């Protein structure tokens, strides 16, 4: 018989060993899956490392892949930290992209040093407002935010498609020859392209620097500010928070807004750093918002750890593009991501529990005195 027994005290080293061991386990399990689908696990892993780290330009590409994931990962982590389950990072990111693209197009005559902050502000604001809808519903009507944020993702996606495919909106390109063949967004002016920094052969997108700065800021906020203190109290016991005079509704609403703003900023970065156009298909296929939940969960909602986990998932995403081909469906990398998440989250049980194995034949019966009085149901009946 195998069972989990709760540990009465958790040794500190387990906090490090368990996640590491679970990554190794994930690699083994994913290796089995690779082998079963006719791929040599070792060469595949080698490919992954090459395609995401060692090949020329690979690391820079991984930084590109991880940037939006860090934004959505932070957005999810900060909300989840207070047990506010905002899984609407996806839709909030769409709105951030819509806002930033709109600002970039509208203020096209402004110089970059003015235009880029405006795009960031527009993305932030759009994401914030979109997240404020489920925030208000949760804070004042106690509506389940999981459902509302999820549903609003589809609404946001439809709005985005409408702007490019089904309307003559401000975002849609109606003049260029290629746009006559297939609907597409207007290209942003050159001044709206966010800068990238060159360190040796490495290209660091501006958005990545913003995201890392944000991660440090959020980490400090949770640890050292009054706002973060209130978050921690409400995460631990909502009733104690209410008792202590914390304005719970405001907190829920504001944290939801912060979370949405971060995701929106991710959308702005996606437009400003990389695509320079509002591209509904690309954004929807990438699924940054949903992958961000994975990033946050792997980081256990710690903003600093999000930097690491988004890099890790960014590597996988990037390698997926390189590996993808007739013999290697893109779904396979998604499956590997899933296995990783499953192992790392599943392994958490081992930090707080230990496995106990005992063999059934090692349980001889010990006679105890018959009950002085037979109390209980008639035992002859079987169900």
Q: How many CB atoms lie within 10 A of CB 196?
A: 17
Q: Judged by CB under 8 A, which of 45, 165, 229, 290 binds other proteins?
A: 229
CB closer to other proteins, 233 vs 256: 233
Instruction: Note whether 233 binds other proteins by CB under 8 A.
Output: yes
Residue closest to 131 by CA, chosen among 271, 263, 303: 263
**Shortest separation between residue 71's beta carbon and other proteins, angstroms:** 23
CB closer to other proteins, 166 vs 356: 356
Binding span for other proteins by CB under 8 A among 72-80, 111-119, 196-204, 220-228:
220-228
CB closer to other proteins, 234 vs 277: 234
- Joined together, the tokens standing for residue 214 give 């944000």
Contacts 24+ apart (CB under 8 A), 44-51: 44/323, 47/319, 47/322, 47/323, 48/315, 48/316, 48/319, 48/323, 50/322, 51/318, 51/319, 51/321, 51/322, 51/323
Instruction: Note whether 217 binds other proteins by CB under 8 A.
Output: no
How far apart are the C-alpha atoms of 252 and 265, rounded to whole Å?
20
Distances (CA, A) of 321 to 57, 312, 331: 14, 15, 11
**Shortest separation between residue 87's beta carbon and other proteins, angstroms:** 24
How far apart are the C-alpha atoms of 72 and 267, rounded to whole Å?
9
Q: Judged by CB under 8 A, which of 2, 9, 182, 325 binds other proteins?
A: 9
**Shortest separation between residue 257's beta carbon and other proteins, angstroms:** 17
Q: Judged by CB under 8 A, which of 106, 170, 243, 321 binds other proteins?
A: 243
Distances (CA, A) of 305 to 66, 78, 325: 13, 12, 32
Subset of 152-211 contacting other proteins (CB under 8 A): none
Instruction: Note whether 357 binds other proteins by CB under 8 A.
Output: no
- Joined together, the tokens standing for residue 87 give 């899984």
Instruction: Note whether 35 binds other proteins by CB under 8 A.
Output: no
How far apart are the C-alpha atoms of 67 and 348, rounded to whole Å?
27
Binding span for other proteins by CB under 8 A among 136-144, 225-233, 277-285, 289-297:
225-233
Cα R_g (the chain), whole angstroms: 25
Q: What 3-state class would DSSP assign to 186?
A: coil
Q: What 3-state class would DSSP assign to 4?
A: strand
H or E, element range at 235: helix 226-236
Binding span for other proteins by CB under 8 A among 57-65, 121-129, 160-168, 233-241:
233-241
**Shortest separation between residue 189's beta carbon and other proteins, angstroms:** 37
Binding span for other proteins by CB under 8 A among 51-59, 124-132, 186-194, 354-362:
354-362
Q: How many CB atoms lie within 10 A of CB 5?
A: 9
Q: Judged by CB under 8 A, which of 83, 247, 281, 352 binds other proteins?
A: 247
Site string for other proteins, 312-351 (x = CB under 8 A): ----------------------------------------
Residue ranges in contact with other proteins by CB under 8 A: 3, 5, 8-9, 224-229, 232-233, 236-237, 239-247, 356, 358, 360, 362-383
């Amino acid at each position: 018989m195998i069972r989990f027994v709760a540990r009465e005290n958790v040794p500190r080293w387990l906090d490090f060993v368990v996640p590491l061991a679970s990554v190794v386990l994930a690699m083994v399990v994913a290796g089995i899956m690779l082998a079963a689908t006719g791929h040599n696990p070792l060469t595949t892993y080698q490919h992954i490392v090459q395609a995401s780290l060692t090949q020329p330009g690979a690391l820079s590409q991984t930084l590109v892949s991880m940037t939006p994931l860090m934004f959505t990962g932070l957005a999810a982590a900060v909300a989840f930290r207070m047990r506010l389950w905002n899984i609407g990072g996806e839709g909030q990111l769409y709105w951030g992209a819509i806002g930033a693209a709109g600002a970039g197009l509208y203020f096209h005559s402004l110089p970059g040093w003015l235009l880029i902050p405006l795009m960031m502000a527009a993305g932030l604001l759009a994401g914030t407002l979109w997240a404020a809808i489920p925030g208000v519903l949760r804070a004042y009507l106690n509506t389940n935010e999981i459902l509302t944020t999820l549903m609003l993702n589809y609404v946001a996606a439809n709005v985005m498609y409408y702007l490019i495919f089904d309307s003559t909106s401000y975002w849609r390109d109606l003049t260029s020859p290629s746009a006559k063949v297939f609907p597409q967004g207007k290209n942003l002016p050159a001044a709206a392209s966010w800068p990238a920094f060159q360190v040796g052969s490495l290209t660091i997108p501006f958005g990545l620097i913003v995201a890392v700065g944000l991660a440090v800021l959020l980490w400090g906020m949770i640890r050292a500010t009054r706002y973060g203190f209130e978050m921690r109290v409400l995460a631990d016991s909502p009733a104690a928070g209410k008792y202590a005079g914390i304005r719970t509704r405001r907190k829920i609403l504001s944290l939801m807004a912060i979370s949405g703003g971060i995701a929106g900023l991710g959308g702005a970065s996606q437009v400003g750093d990389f695509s320079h156009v509002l591209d509904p298909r690309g954004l929807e296929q990438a699924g940054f918002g949903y992958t961000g939940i994975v990033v946050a969960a792997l980081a256990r909602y710690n903003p600093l750890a999000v930097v690491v986990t988004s890099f890790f998932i960014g590597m996988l995403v990037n390698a997926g593009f390189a590996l993808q081909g007739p013999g290697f469906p893109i779904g396979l990398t998604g499956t590997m991501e899933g296995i990783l998440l499953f192992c790392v989250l599943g392994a958490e049980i081992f930090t707080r529990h230990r496995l106990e194995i005992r063999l059934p034949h090692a349980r001889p019966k010990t006679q105890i005195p018959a009950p002085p009085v037979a109390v209980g149901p008639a035992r002859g009946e079987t169900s």
